Amino acid sequence: MASLDIVSEVDMQTADNAVNAAKKEIETRYDFRGTGSEIDFDKKNMVLSLTTENDFRIDQMEKVLIGRFVKAKLDPMSLDLSKEAFASGKVVKKTIPIKHGISREQAKKIVKAIKAEKLKVEPQIMDEQIRVTSKSIDALRQVMDICKKGDFEVPLQFTNMK
């Protein structure tokens, strides 16, 4: 039996390098000089904190961060940009969690999409990953194509293909 794990993971070292590159770019940009703009990365809780003077600069910091994630070959969908920025005194702050793992609802959507194709595979939800087993490796490759084409709101990787 061949098997494949579908996961959603972010390499923390690569993410840290991307964040450090974004920090350096923001420090050297002319429009950010003297503004006190900062990016803090809490690796333990996987949360980015942006701090600056106004909403426009928050948007610019997000764009720099997304650009650095793309250059580091990390999927920018792993950044949860849905939270709004909030004012805290004279500064504007925004927290950006990094998505890690597949939630139960997203896993159900993925399994439903796989089963809708009527392939001879058996998907199983296991904590924050999905294991797909089949007698045919070609069927597993078709599952990979389904997952790449689908819009599941999380970046998906494929591991442990045996």
DSSP string, 72-94: TT--GGGB-TTSPPEEETTEEEE
pLDDT, average across residues 112-136: 90
End-of-domain residue from the set 77, 97, 117: 97
Total-model pTM: 0.83
Query: Average model confidence (pLDDT) for the chain?
Result: 90
* Average pLDDT of the residues in 46-69: 92
- pLDDT value at position 127? 85
Are residues 19 and 91 part of one domain? Answer: yes
> Among 75, 97, 119, where does a domain finish?
97
Confidence of residue 40 (pLDDT cuts 50, 70, 90): very high
Asked if 92 and 122 sit in the same domain, the reply is no
Residue 68, domain CATH: 3.30.70.990
